[in-house]
Structure 1
Amino acid sequence: MKMDPEKRTPLYRERLLHIIILGGGTLLLLAFVILRYEGFFAMLRYLTDTLRPLLLGILFASILNRPFRRFEAALLKLNHRRKNRFSQRFCRVGALFATVLMTLLILVGIVCVILPQLRQSIGLLTEHSAFYGENLRQWLTANRMEFILQWLSGQQASRMLEMAKEYLPTVLAKTYDYTAGLIRCIIDIGIGAVFSVYLLADSQRLKQQAADIVVRIAGKKRQQRLAEGTRMICMTFARFFSSQLTEALILGCLCYVGMLIFSFPYPVLISVIIGVTNIVPYVGPIAGTVPCTAILLLVKPDCALWFVLFIIVLQQLESNLIYPRIVGHSVGLPPAWVLTAIVIGGGLWGIGGLLIGVPLTAVIYTLLFGKEPQTAASKENIT
């Protein structure tokens, strides 16, 4: 059955108008990005800096949403067995309290157990730096590597000293900026944590309000599509960060146990560095192994090579056996996409970009190709 041309013409014109407006807006945006890319990225950095507390709150809420849902499901299941049942609101408040308490206990454990040992290790390393330097010199001499000492004591040492004198005032001048940035980061994290609690507490009402607003503006069908897209974005970020944090915790614990077994020095300091840097995929293990190897070269040079071999074996064991069984699949992007996301994210937003670049790229991948990236059975590693 064919539609009447008089009824088809307005619909056709309306769709054509939408296509022209959308295409024209896209072309204008691309032209602005290409011609004024510096201003575009500056505006993007300004927006992210301004909205950082809220973005951190959304990130924290997406990470804590999993334990919050599990606590809520357990309380609801327990509540159904009672004769005098509590309200669903009471169960949500109890689940939120349990989630916040669990998070605080983890943070207190880190502060009370790990930080004192870290401070002690760093203090000992700084205090005995001269002794460790002499120890390295003797080790190089004993292993017939005097050419390294001669190279360091020649013109290269003079150049390094001149560079240090040149850049030292700049570093000292920027100390205030770094301190102010650290204080602002702590404040943003605090505001984000409080905001995440409010998001978890009123998640149902906020979802309903957002759905009502979108329905009134764009209609029911577009609201459903937008809800599916938002759900996909939240799941991608939550899955990535929960997987990476779990992996970092497992790897840090295994590294600590292995260092105790092989009697490597500074096990707490090195294990924390390995675990924290492993949050960044692919690049993180390399970035963590280099400074740890440098520390061992100063403290106990004979252990440096064995430590590198130990980390390689540990990475392969964790990636191929432990990670797939305990953590499961993460975003599933190919290594080329992951490295591209890390480079671009780190260049735009620094350390924060290293963390959010991979899940953000996974979201863009899904939006472009209409399907999620294929997850691998085991995570490839570059060490």
Structure 2
Amino acid sequence: MPQGKWFRIGYGIIVALLIAYLASKVDFVFNPIKKVLAALFVPLLISGIFYYLFRPFVRLFSTKLPKTLAILLVYVGAIGVCYLFFWMIWPPIRDQSINLVDNFPQIVDSVRTWIESLQQHEWLKEIGQKDALSSENITNKLTGSLDGLLNSVIGSVRGIFNLIMRFFFLLGLVPFMIYYLLSEGDKLPDRILRLLPDRYHRVVGGALKEIDTSIGSFILSKVLTSLLIGMLTFIGYMFIHVPYPLLLGMVAAITNFIPYIGPLIAFVPTAIVALTVSPMTVLLVGIVLIVSNQIEANVIGPRIIGKQMNVHPFTVMLLVIGASAIIGPFGMIIVVPVYAIIKIVANRTYDFYKHNHIPPIDPLAEMNKRHD
């Protein structure tokens, strides 16, 4: 039987695909596993994010205090931050959200008026886009989007009880998971290495350390820079008198988690709201977003963390676009760290086999050895 390199690779791919196909045919075995993983995914994700956010403070306080006391001190600080948020920031965000919904018809009228004035320009008539940009079409699309949003909200009322139960489930589970990660997380790589042969300890340990550093830096930098973007845009919107500045600043902070495309997404709703003031305000909104992102990218961002992901910008753009088509907004946020993990594992694996000249495991050869 052929024993060449490419034959072994092809043979391994065929075996993996065959296993995946057979696994898809035994739903009674894998469906419970899928449900368990789906139930654990959200609490694990939330716990992992807060673990990387809290870990620097725990390590700092652990130099002077016992680790358990340091973790409890960080928890007290986190509770204080949450209290300040709900006491100072949440009420105006809630009020601005209610006002935005109440004033949506006026916003639609402002957009329609702007479209009607735009139609009077000769250049628009020459390119033949008058019908496509008619006020009726734009208004229908905006009102249709609002109707769809309201229908979604009404349709989700049935699941409010489940949502509340899930919230309290996460509220009770996540703090314990975060505490365990903070107290035992540093020991996790060693426990993983104990399960592997000695010859893999160096490469796997290096990969785990690199992944840990990259993901931790990515999460911390994204949270800090998003808060920075939120504050800068809020100040800018206040300065140019855009309605609902705190709410729209929060939108800019959230969309900043999406690489490169995030500012464009934040611009769209803000521009629509800015039309209620004047078309010039729309231009000023664009300037505020550009200046804020340039300050974050070139001045403050590199000083906070530096380059945390060794991924080319063009690659990031392709990843974000592809993830948005396959997974949606959530995929646009997680695709870069997931790609970075895959890249680290692939590079470490390639370097290991290249320098050690250890061929991949051939399942058929292993079976023949056992029979011999």
TM-score range, shorter chain: 0.7 to 0.9
Distance 1:303 1:160 in 2: 20
Which of 96, 107, 115 aligns to 2:90? It is 115
**Which residue matches 2:219?**
241
Any conservation in 2 of the 1:337–1:361 contact (CA below 8 Å)?
no
Residue 311 of structure 2 aligns with which residue? 333
SS of corresponding position for 1:308? helix
What aligned pairs does 1:91-130 form with structure 2 within 5 A after superposition? 91-130=66-105
TM-score, normalised on structure 1? Answer: 0.71
CA contact (8 A) 2:111 2:272 kept: no
Aligned length: 333
Q: Deviations along 1:92-132, whole A, 9 cap, x unmatched?
A: 01211122122222222222222111111112222233344
Displacement of 1:230 in angstroms is: 1.9
Aligned residues of 1:338 and 1:358 also touching (Cα < 8 A): yes
Q: CA deviation at 1:307?
A: 1.0
Structure 1 regions of 5+ residues with no counterpart? 1-15, 76-89, 372-383
Name the counterpart of 2:184.
Answer: 202
Give, in whole Å, the separation in 1 of the partners of 2:101 and 2:149: 21
Name the SS for the 1:282 alignment partner.
coil
Q: Does the CA contact (< 8 Å) of 1:293 and 1:304 recur in 2?
A: yes
Per the alignment, residue 375 of structure 1 pairs with none
Which residue pairs with 1:379 in the alignment?
Answer: none
Distance in 2 separating the partners of 1:270 and 1:157: 22
1:184 matched to 2:166? The reply is yes
Find the partner of 1:353 among 331, 335, 358: 331
Q: Percent identity?
A: 20
Alignment correspondent of 2:38: 49
CA contact 2:218–2:309 (8 Å) conserved in 1:
yes
CA distance in 2, matches of 1:351, 1:140: 29
Q: 2:204 aligns with which of 223, 226, 235?
A: 226
1:218 is paired with a residue whose SS is: coil
- Residue 285 of structure 1 deviates from its aligned partner by 1.2
Distance 2:234 2:141 in 1: 38
Where in structure 2 are the equivalents of 1:287-306 lying within 5 Å?
Answer: 287-298=265-276, 300-306=278-284
Q: Secondary structure at the match of 2:134?
A: helix
Further displaced range: 300-309 or 246-255: 300-309
What letter corresponds to residue 124 of structure 1 in structure 2? N
The answer as to whether partners of 2:108 and 2:139 remain within 8 angstroms in 1 is no
For residue 261 of structure 1, what is the amino acid of its counterpart? F
Q: Which residue does the alignment assign to 1:193?
A: 175
Aligned-partner Cα distance in 1 for 2:177–2:66: 20
Match of 1:310, SS? helix
Q: Please, which runs of 5 or more residues in structure 2 have no aligned partner?
A: 122-129, 350-372
